[in-house]
Structure 1
Amino acid sequence: MNTVVTVTPNPALDQTVCVENLVLGEVNLAASLEFNAGGKGVNVAGCLADYGIETIATGLLGCDDSAAFEAMFAEKRIVDRFVRIAGRPRINVKLVDTARHETTDINLATSLPSAEDVAALQQRIVELAVPGRWFVLAGSLPPGVDVSFYRSVTRVLHAVGARVALDTSGAPLADALAATDAAELPDLIKPNRAELEVALGLSFVDEDALVHAACGLVERGIAHVVVSLGERGALGVTRASNAAAPDAAPAYEGWHAAPLRVPVASTVGAGDALVAGLIASLVEARPWPELGRRATAFAAGKLARVGPHLPDRPSLDALAAQVQVATFSVAANTRHATQQHAAQT
């Protein structure tokens, strides 16, 4: 099943203002202003569509100021299954300092969905659920939506054989990871290091501690655990393919993908592009280390663009060929990395 569904309960209209050498408290001359349909799931959908994967986007979208979303969906041939609600999408102002390569976010409040709106979204998700289809549940939840929304949706999707990737933070992530029923745990997560620390109530003193925690999540039932490390790239852990054998060792296999140094137009949405690369690689049944390589290429390709856009496939392939990926294995009795080597230069 190659079609991917992204779920964005709290989409945003991103207003990106580019300024060279932003000075707070002063009058600044903007070099450009751009509006883009946004929100984590919308960004993932845009990147997947650019890559050529059939994508359906759903969530809760305010009727006012929805034109930018509708135009993006039409341009990228994304199937629009958003539930329309009263009001307008939240507006996120992105102040991009092009000289320092820094982005300052100012996020405004969102429309408040009713209980009926949330129920309509849950029903829409059920209608789209088919065995084997990947769903990307992404972003924050609007005020008034129960923190357990993602966990309950995951249970429903797993009941019909669909697969779930979760990319959120704060209380929704903590709630999802606290699930004691494996049916409520996602198949893939992609927090950053700080988000995972908060969700688990831990502090990782070093990368070995992070790997240990990731292996623990895999053991509990999350098949693919990927943690973004900012300027240090990303780390991924899954169960080793031979882990079911009686004397199998190691029990887990992982990768550490180093980021590419590329020109940066905007860092907004780079993590969402990483998620899109992970899902695209799973849809294409790529080997586990290749997820790190392809996802890192997606993130690098997006950095050169404002908004949820990727370069063409040959350009992404060229970027992927440059990604340095180190693989490692972890023994079940230690959950410490026992081997590490360069997979490809």
Structure 2
Amino acid sequence: MIVTLTANPSLDRTVTLAAPLQVGDVQAARSAREDAGGKGINVARAIAAAGEPCVAVLPLAIDDPFDTALRGSGLDAHRVPVAGHVRANLAITDPAGITTKLNLPGARLSTDEISAVVDATVVAAAGATWLVLAGSLPPGVPDDFYVRVIGAVRAAHGAHAPLIAVDTSGPALAAVVAHGRPDLIKPNDEELGELVGADLAGADARTALDVARALVPGRVGAALVTLGARGALLVDADGAWAAVPPPIRVVSTVGAGDSSLAGYVLGDARGEDADERLRLAVRYGAAAASLPGTQAPTPRDLPGGDIPVTRLA
């Protein structure tokens, strides 16, 4: 079983335009959709769609309209009662696949609600193979929240604790790398650069490798670095590999990185080697980018063709 925690879920509204976004103008939209989102939710939906048992933990008020979208996704969810309502995020995509996002901060969690989320995650993680901690933190939650979750899960389950993957950014990612010793992090190039104080936007795999090696395996077990159209890089204690994505028509990049993480975890849960875990991560990320909105790719959405994997170290 795989468990995800989404501390800051979102109702993802995606508006598709028939022409490029014109700031300050009035434009007609071609279509719109709503999805239950947030990084951990996105990961869980892709894993569940692949037929793997998955439980999504999230804070959710009893009367929150978000629950309608969540139930519509068919996801097995552990809801932690809170007072505030889930935020709404807006993504605007044009025919070229260029996406503009507006993310709201989310509802503030109280100290008791934060503790309840940690406790629920510890309970859900019993017997799990992977625990995925993903997404931004809502107001009121300290930067070291994921460090606290990691510590609580490992203290409760000891040698039987699941492997732990973290996909976040900024101070929350910095705290995890400094104090959490996760088994996997999944930054993109910009997030990895921010973590070490370097400009990695548009960097190739070898440049990203030089930076990632400063973290792996000393502070984190492995790093899956997504590079957009340039593919992805996997670095662990045994080596480093780069993969190039197949040609696709980009529709929306929202959730592509989340799906890449889902593909990697699925590969590991199935016992695949590093090459195939990375290959599946890239295939899932490409599939998500070819779908509108924050749709979770299913196995039938995965692009065919070869995905070359090169060993870099």
Aligned to 1:297: 283
Q: Distance in 1 between matches of 2:115 and 2:152?
A: 13
Q: Which amino acid aligns with 1:49?
A: A
**1:49 partnered with 2:48:** yes
Q: Distance in 2 between matches of 1:220 and 1:53?
A: 31
SS in 1 for 2:271: coil
Q: Which amino acid aligns with 2:183?
A: D
Q: Distance in 2 between matches of 1:129 and 1:209?
A: 35
Query: Do the aligned residues in 2 keep the contact of 1:8 with 1:139 (CA within 8 Å)?
Result: yes
**1:92 partnered with 2:76:** no
Query: Do the aligned residues in 1 keep the contact of 2:167 with 2:186 (CA within 8 Å)?
Result: yes
Question: Per the alignment, do residues 54 and 292 of structure 1 end up closer, same or farther by CA in structure 2, a change over 3 Å counting?
Answer: same
Q: Distance in 1 between matches of 2:286 and 2:39?
A: 17
Aligned to 2:57: 58
Q: Which amino acid aligns with 2:297?
A: L
Query: Do the aligned residues in 1 keep the contact of 2:177 with 2:220 (CA within 8 Å)?
Result: no
Q: Distance in 2 between matches of 1:197 and 1:264?
A: 25
State which drifts further: 281-290 or 257-266.
257-266
Q: Which structure 1 residue ranges, 4+ long, deviate > 6 Å from structure 2?
A: none
Q: Distance in 2 between matches of 1:42 and 1:120?
A: 18
SS in 2 for 1:218: coil
Is there any run of 5+ residues in structure 1 with no aligned partner, and where?
Answer: 241-252, 330-345
Aligned to 1:136: 132
Question: Per the alignment, do residues 312 and 203 of structure 1 end up closer, same or farther by CA in structure 2, a change over 3 Å counting?
Answer: closer
Following superposition, the deviation at residue 206 of structure 1 comes to 7.0
Aligned to 1:284: 270
SS in 1 for 2:214: helix
Q: Distance in 2 between matches of 1:194 and 1:33?
A: 28
Query: Do the aligned residues in 2 keep the contact of 1:237 with 1:255 (CA within 8 Å)?
Result: yes
Percent sequence identity is: 35
**1:323 partnered with 2:307:** yes
SS in 1 for 2:56: strand
Map Cα deviations across residues 149-171 of structure 1 (whole Å, 9 max, x no partner): 10111122233222100000011
Structure 1 residue corresponding to 2:296, chosen from 309, 318, 334: 309
Q: Distance in 2 between matches of 1:153 and 1:67?
A: 24
Following superposition, the deviation at residue 6 of structure 1 comes to 0.6
Map Cα deviations across residues 228-261 of structure 1 (whole Å, 9 max, x no partner): 1122111111122xxxxxxxxxxxx111111222
Following superposition, the deviation at residue 202 of structure 1 comes to 3.7
Following superposition, the deviation at residue 196 of structure 1 comes to 1.3
SS in 1 for 2:81: strand
Task: Work out the number of aligned pairs and report it.
Answer: 304
Following superposition, the deviation at residue 219 of structure 1 comes to 2.6
Q: Distance in 2 between matches of 1:94 and 1:219?
A: 36
Q: Which amino acid aligns with 2:174?
A: A
TM-score, normalised to structure 1, is: 0.83
Q: Distance in 2 between matches of 1:33 and 1:210?
A: 36
Query: Do the aligned residues in 2 keep the contact of 1:10 with 1:61 (CA within 8 Å)?
Result: no
Query: Do the aligned residues in 1 keep the contact of 2:205 with 2:233 (CA within 8 Å)?
Result: no
Structure 1 residue corresponding to 2:221, chosen from 220, 223, 226: 223
Following superposition, the deviation at residue 115 of structure 1 comes to 1.1
State which drifts further: 126-135 or 192-201.
126-135
SS in 2 for 1:307: coil
Answer 1 or 2: higher relative contact order, Cα 8 Å, separation at least 6: 2
Following superposition, the deviation at residue 207 of structure 1 comes to 4.9
Following superposition, the deviation at residue 274 of structure 1 comes to 0.3
Q: Distance in 1 between matches of 2:207 and 2:32?
A: 42
**1:82 partnered with 2:79:** yes
Following superposition, the deviation at residue 265 of structure 1 comes to 2.4
